[in-house]
């Protein structure tokens, strides 16, 4: 057997991988809307929310960028069945913990359900990618 021979992943692997890509692509869109303060993004916020987000430190915006771009590329890695996806999900999780930790500690979490969902999904993607490596689905 060659090193490129791996087990064929089940259909649910592909479903989870596509959901991960869509979820993280939405995160990229949210980041870009926030970073460029698009009209549609601005109109969805109250003046207080806009003021709060506008005053976030630059490193927090950087953590947001790392979180969403690393996870999106990691999701593409899952679809390509590459082991490096795991490392990108770990990097993304670290950035998510930094970003969401700051937001929670500062009391800026307007939607606590979404904040917790982001953290949980990030943890899940690290676990899922690690599990898929152990099953030989990623090379």
Q: In this predicted model, what pLDDT tens digit does every residue of 24-43 receive, in sequence order? A: 999 999 999 999 988 988 88
Count helices and strands in the chain by DSSP H and E runs: 6, 0
The 3-state secondary structure of 76-98 reads HHHHHCCCHHHHHHHHHHHHHHH
Residue 95's Cα: distance from chain center in Å? 9
Does a structural domain hold residue 37? yes
- Dmax over CA atoms of the chain, in Å, equals 62
Does a structural domain hold residue 34? yes
pLDDT at 4 (0 to 100): 52
Check pLDDT > 70 for residue 113: yes
Does a structural domain hold residue 5? no
Check pLDDT > 70 for residue 86: yes
Half-sphere exposure of 20 (CA within 13 A, CB side): 32
Does a structural domain hold residue 2? no
pTM value is: 0.90
């Amino acid at each position: 057997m060659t090193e490129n021979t791996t087990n064929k992943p089940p259909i649910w692997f592909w479903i989870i991988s596509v959901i991960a890509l869509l979820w993280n692509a939405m995160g990229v869109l949210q980041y870009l809307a926030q970073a460029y303060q698009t009209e549609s993004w601005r109109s969805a916020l109250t003046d207080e929310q806009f003021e709060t987000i506008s005053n976030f430190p630059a490193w927090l915006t950087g953590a947001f960028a790392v979180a969403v771009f690393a996870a999106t590329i990691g999701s593409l890695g899952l679809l390509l069945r590459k082991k490096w996806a795991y490392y990108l999900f770990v990097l993304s999780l670290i950035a998510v913990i930094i970003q969401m930790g700051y937001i929670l500690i500062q009391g800026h979490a307007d939607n606590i359900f979404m904040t917790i969902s982001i953290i949980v999904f990030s943890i899940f993607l690290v676990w899922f990618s690690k599990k898929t490596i152990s099953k030989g689905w990623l090379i």
